[in-house]
Amino acid sequence: MKILVVNSGSSSLKYQLFDMVGETVLAKGLVERIGSQGSVLTHQADGRKEKMDFESPNHEAALRKVFDVLTASGTGVLKDIKEIDAVGHRVVHAGEKYASSVRITPEVVAALEECSELAPLHNPPGITGIRAITKLLPEVPQVGVFDTAFHQTMPKEAYIYPIPYEYYERHKIRRYGFHGTSHRYVSMRAAEMLGKPIANLKLITCHLGNGSSIAAVDGGRSVDTSMGFTPLAGIPMGTRSGDLDPAIVTFMAEKDGVTAEHVVQKILNKQSGVLGVSGLSNDFRDLEEAAEAGNESAALALTIFANGLRKYIAAYAAIMNGVDAIIFTAGIGENSKEMRSRVCEGLKFFGVAIDEEKNNCRGIERDISMPGSKVRVLIVPTNEELVIARDTRAIVFS
Ligand code: ADP
């Protein structure tokens, strides 16, 4: 059984083709600059990586090119595109409509379109990807896997904002949370690594990438998470501010004669976070190098990030009245031993003790806690594509 996983962005498209017998990746790649002149396809299969320039005015054209490469005579991993049994899509926002993955039907597409109001930048590309596959592979079943779904188990006290309640009723303003597929995957893997049923575990999962979010996972259910109505909330990120006093928005807008929308979309989403504080980079590798060389702004940005993370971890331990394990994942969580070390150092007071030798690693699954640590600390590389492929198989073929 072969499943294609598609993750459509506004001008990009990532894909992975799985052979579900053994859950192996047959091919994967990325199309960039869709809709601009000169799109680029980077394709990997059979241990080879190729880059191809082509024209791709839209996602359908991008997928056509991907299909050509997948079936190319001699080098393709498929003889015929008909070998694809199902397609799974990453879609960002399903609002309150779906608490788990679903088979795509015209009704589901309509429901997701309604949710686009809540995620105007992130949802339309996912829907575009679904439409393109519907056109190119009309007979092939499709499944939608949503970033918000895992967090639909949050209790009301976690998702209702302390603003007039009518805003929730009239406009659905509430905490939704994102990165749900990743938080779900790493919490399941953590339970397997700890050898305990997930139902008995209190976990704090830290997805630290370009966007970062923390989740409190109690008994396998998300009970709180740091991102909110949009992915702008929570800890500071690469270019996003994370939590701040909302009065800053109108103050900045008045002072500089710009709109509140400009402040939120441009300044707080794209020019803030560790990039904004350091004035240097949103990439933690650059910041760690600069801080090491004595750059104070880079050091300050990293400290603000580490403290933000530590505050959320402590808060979620309080929310769950305990924590069995802290899990680090995504680009920074999997790769930065410095950040893991700093955060854990500041959590010694509630029984976190890591072994620095075990922590000295990158991108591998590992328990890095000291044998006696009250709270276990795990690195779990995330694999959202695999979850999407598994959900697709489960929904289409069971
Ligand atoms: P995305 O959210 O786009 O999926 P990733 O999860 O791939 O992002 O994370 C990307 C980020 O991970 C980079 O911006 C960088 O800050 C960080 N990162 C990657 N490798 C390292 C490393 N070796 N040390 C520190 N940070 C790293």
In the sheet with 142-146, reading across from the earlier edge strand, the strands are 48-54, 39-45, 24-32, 13-19, 2-8, 86-91, 142-146, 102-103
Give the number of the atom of ligand 1 that is nearest the alpha carbon of residue 362: 23
* Alpha-carbon gap, residue 174 to 156, rounded angstroms: 9
Going by alpha carbons, the residue nearest to atom 7 of ligand 1 is: 331
**In angstroms, what is the span from residue 326 Cα to ligand 1's centroid?**
19
Give the number of the atom of ligand 1 that is nearest the alpha carbon of residue 210: 2
Torsion sign across C-alpha atoms 249, 250, 253, 256: negative
**In angstroms, what is the span from residue 335 Cα to ligand 1's centroid?**
7
Mean pLDDT of 380-387: 97
* Alpha-carbon gap, residue 239 to 266, rounded angstroms: 10
State yes or no: pLDDT of 122 exceeds 90: no
Cβ proximity of 301 and 277 under 8 Å: yes
* Beta bridge mates, 32: 40
* Beta bridge mates, 70: none
From 182, 335, 338, 339, the mutation candidate for ligand 1 (largest count of ligand atoms within 8 A of CB) is 335
* Alpha-carbon gap, residue 52 to 65, rounded angstroms: 10
- 239 closest CA partner among 267, 214, 219, 264: 267
pLDDT category, 90, cuts 50, 70, 90?
A: very high
Going by alpha carbons, the residue nearest to atom 21 of ligand 1 is: 335
Q: Which ranges constitute the DSSP H helices of 6-51?
A: none
How far are the Cα atoms of 5, 96, 109, 145, 205 from residue 385, in angstroms, in the given order?
Answer: 6, 23, 21, 10, 18
* Alpha-carbon gap, residue 10 to 377, rounded angstroms: 36
How many degrees, rounded to 5, is the angle at CA 251 between CA 249 and CA 256? 100
Residue that is written with structure tokens 């990120």 in the block: 237
Give the number of the atom of ligand 1 that is nearest the alpha carbon of residue 339: 25
Q: Is 80 annotated as catalytic? A: no
**In angstroms, what is the span from residue 283 Cα to ligand 1's centroid?**
7
Mean pLDDT of 259-271: 96
From 7, 207, 235, 285, the mutation candidate for ligand 1 (largest count of ligand atoms within 8 A of CB) is 285
Q: Report the chain's mean pLDDT, rounded to a whole number.
A: 96
Residues 87, 17, 116, 118: what is their CA dihedral angle, to the nearest 10 degrees? 120
**What pLDDT score does 196 carry?**
98
Residue that is written with structure tokens 């007979």 in the block: 139
Q: Which ranges constitute the DSSP H helices of the chain?
A: 59-70, 106-115, 123-136, 156-159, 166-171, 180-194, 247-256, 260-262, 269-270, 273-278, 284-292, 296-320, 330-335, 337-345, 356-359, 384-397
Set 46, 68, 147, 283: catalytic member: 147
State yes or no: pLDDT of 17 exceeds 90: yes
pLDDT category, 136, cuts 50, 70, 90?
A: very high
Residue that is written with structure tokens 């993955």 in the block: 101
pTM score of the predicted model = 0.95
Mean pLDDT of 345-354: 95
pLDDT category, 355, cuts 50, 70, 90?
A: very high
Mean pLDDT of 364-370: 98
Mean pLDDT of 230-236: 96
From 10, 240, 283, 339, the mutation candidate for ligand 1 (largest count of ligand atoms within 8 A of CB) is 283
C-alpha radius of gyration, the chain, whole number = 21
Mean pLDDT of 213-229: 98
**In angstroms, what is the span from residue 282 Cα to ligand 1's centroid?**
9
* Alpha-carbon gap, residue 19 to 77, rounded angstroms: 11
**In angstroms, what is the span from residue 182 Cα to ligand 1's centroid?**
15
pLDDT category, 74, cuts 50, 70, 90?
A: confident
List residues near ligand 1 (CB under 6 A). 209-211, 238, 283-285, 288, 330-332, 335-336, 362
State yes or no: pLDDT of 150 exceeds 90: yes
State yes or no: pLDDT of 312 exceeds 90: yes
Cβ proximity of 25 and 17 under 8 Å: yes
**In angstroms, what is the span from residue 253 Cα to ligand 1's centroid?**
31
